[in-house]
Structure 1
Amino acid sequence: MIALALSVLSSTLIFVVFKLYDVYKVQTLYAIVVNYMVACITGFFLYEGSVEVRQLVNTSWFWGPILMGVLFITIFNLMAKTAQVAGVSVASVATKMSLVIPVIFGIWLYNESLTWIQVIGITLALVAVYLASLKEKHIVINRKDLLLPFLVFLGSGIIDTSIKYFEELHLTDEDVPIFSSMIFGCAALSGVLFIGIRSKKKPLKINFKNILGGIALGVPNYFSIYFIIRALRSDLLSSAAIFTLNNVAIVMLSTLMGILLFKEKLSPKNWGGVALAILSIILVALF
């Protein structure tokens, strides 16, 4: 449970850093790429074994970080596009609602079981995520724009499901730091390629704020993945319960941090979401 709590805290710090990007006018895309580089380096420092390319290539999980790294940068850009086209709330809801995918796969592939009370808790968690994320008074999405939030929902769910798959079948405790590091390393390479293609139209300018913003984001970003894998390896709860608790607790804590640090105001629906989030955590964790 300590690992899960640290994963939630790390993910919430990511939210705080993103908020500060708006305050200090940090260019998100460039900072994100720097963040992936920093997260990769952080993992290498934590890895106690020797880093040999031949040895890594021969591992059963080597191809996983490559695919997930590409998916990380792709989903990030889709989230940004969704926020621009359909609104921030839609992007947030699509991301957090994706917890349904690893929950279903956990029950189907790994024969995990849930009590009826936990099922009710997960259902309440989905409602809580929606209500707590609702910022606009009215959300209107054109039919042609439904593809974007669906792709964010699907991609985010695939990432969480992939993490569980590799943790369950391929990783040892010693592999976790280097596995997490390689995910971010591959995401960084994908981001560099993306920026390189983009710079042909718009020349790249080095900005100290973007680098500093990337460093501030990279460390908690790494530990958000590192600790969620540790939580999955603890066997105290099913992966369905862990992903539910993780997503709902992040929404709840991020909402409270927004109130305390950025003086955000919540609507009655938002407060209802926070209350349901607390109730769902109690039902999933204690029963």
Structure 2
Amino acid sequence: MIYLLLSVLSSSVIFVIFKLFERFKINTLQAIIFNYFFAFSAGMLVDRQELDPIKILSEDWFLGTFILGFMFIAVFYLAALTTQKSGLSVVSVATKMSVAIPVFFGIILYNESTGWIKIIGILLALVAVYLTSIKKKEGITIRKRNLIFPVLVFFGSGIIDTTLKFLETSYVAEADVALFSSTIFAIAGIIGILILLIQAIRGSLKLSFKNVIGGVALGIPNFGSIYFLVMALRTEGLESSTIFPINNVAIVMISTFLGILLFREKMLSKNWVGILLAITSIILIATSEEWM
């Protein structure tokens, strides 16, 4: 359970860093691209193996990390478009409610346990994510022509989590978890550099050292969020259909509290209801096997 807690805390720190990006006018795309290289470096420090590109290329999980690296960049870009067209709340809901996808595949492909308590807990988690993420009294409104963007974010985020579970279960040895996580970030970083090169060719690239500093700040917790999540998925007795909803709803809940404490964000009554439902869902999902 400690790995799940560390993953939640790492992801919550990422939320704080993104908020600071707004305050210090840091270019989010550049900081994210730089962050991938610092996340890779953090992984190498944890792994403590000699870096061998030939070995990495020969690993059964390498193709999967290439797909995940591409997905990291693609989902980020889609999330940015969704934010511009429909608002931050829409992105938050689409990203966190995507937990339904890995939960579904965990139950179907790996015959993970189900039961009314667990199902109710998962449904409450989805409702909690929605209510906690809404920052406007009128709720979420999306124009029909912009609906495709949150839908793609939803499926993209769900595919990332599902692929992580599949690779961790089928191909990644315990000794290679750090190397596996680092390789994902390295590939995402390389793809990101290609994007910056395209911007440079077009004459639209403006680099700033503070964006590199933003990447440093983001890199370590970003690595931790993936590394600890994979380690949690490897924990005996914890199923992915338990880990993913608890992970997502706990991140939303803690991030909300951090927003109140650090940035004086205002809460609507529906946000408080969402937090209560989040706590209830975590309790139900975590204890569901005891009721079976």
Q: TM-score, normalised by structure 2?
A: 0.96
Who is 2:189 aligned against? Answer: 188
Displacement, 1:136? 2.4
Counterparts of residues 96-107 of structure 1 (less than 5 Å) = 96-107=96-107
Displacement, 1:157? 0.2
Q: Is 1:113 the equivalent of 2:86? A: no
Separation (CA, whole Å) in 2 of partners of 1:88 and 1:44: 33
More off after superposition, 160-169 vs 48-57? 48-57
Separation (CA, whole Å) in 2 of partners of 1:82 and 1:238: 31
Counterparts of residues 59-138 of structure 1 (less than 5 Å) = 59-138=59-138
Separation (CA, whole Å) in 2 of partners of 1:252 and 1:60: 36
Separation (CA, whole Å) in 2 of partners of 1:204 and 1:194: 10
Separation (CA, whole Å) in 1 of partners of 2:241 and 2:193: 34
Displacement, 1:235? 2.2
Separation (CA, whole Å) in 2 of partners of 1:198 and 1:69: 20
Displacement, 1:31? 0.5
Q: TM-score, normalised by structure 1?
A: 0.98
Displacement, 1:204? 2.6
Displacement, 1:206? 2.8
Amino acid at match of 1:158: I
Counterparts of residues 235-254 of structure 1 (less than 5 Å) = 235-254=236-255
Who is 1:266 aligned against? Answer: 267
Amino acid at match of 1:124: L
Separation (CA, whole Å) in 2 of partners of 1:284 and 1:242: 9
More off after superposition, 44-53 vs 98-107? 44-53
Amino acid at match of 1:6: L
Separation (CA, whole Å) in 2 of partners of 1:252 and 1:201: 41
User: CA-atom RMSD, angstroms?
Assistant: 1.0
Unaligned runs of 5+ in 2: none
Who is 1:46 aligned against? Answer: 46
Who is 2:226 aligned against? Answer: 225
Separation (CA, whole Å) in 2 of partners of 1:202 and 1:21: 24
Displacement, 1:49? 2.5
User: CA deviation digits over 1:172-198, x for unaligned, max 9?
Assistant: 111100000000000001111112112
Who is 1:163 aligned against? Answer: 164
SS in 1 for 2:202: coil
Amino acid at match of 1:197: I
Separation (CA, whole Å) in 2 of partners of 1:161 and 1:155: 10
SS in 1 for 2:164: helix
User: CA deviation digits over 1:180-228, x for unaligned, max 9?
Assistant: 0000000001111112112223343331211111100000000000000
Separation (CA, whole Å) in 1 of partners of 2:136 and 2:200: 34
Who is 1:154 aligned against? Answer: 155
Displacement, 1:123? 0.2
The percentage of counterpart residues that share the same residue type is 52
Unaligned runs of 5+ in 1: none
Separation (CA, whole Å) in 2 of partners of 1:243 and 1:217: 22
Amino acid at match of 2:33: V
Separation (CA, whole Å) in 1 of partners of 2:204 and 2:245: 42
More off after superposition, 197-206 vs 155-164? 197-206
SS in 2 for 1:204: coil
Separation (CA, whole Å) in 1 of partners of 2:85 and 2:204: 25
User: CA deviation digits over 1:30-72, x for unaligned, max 9?
Assistant: 1011111100111111113332222222211111111110110
Amino acid at match of 1:268: S
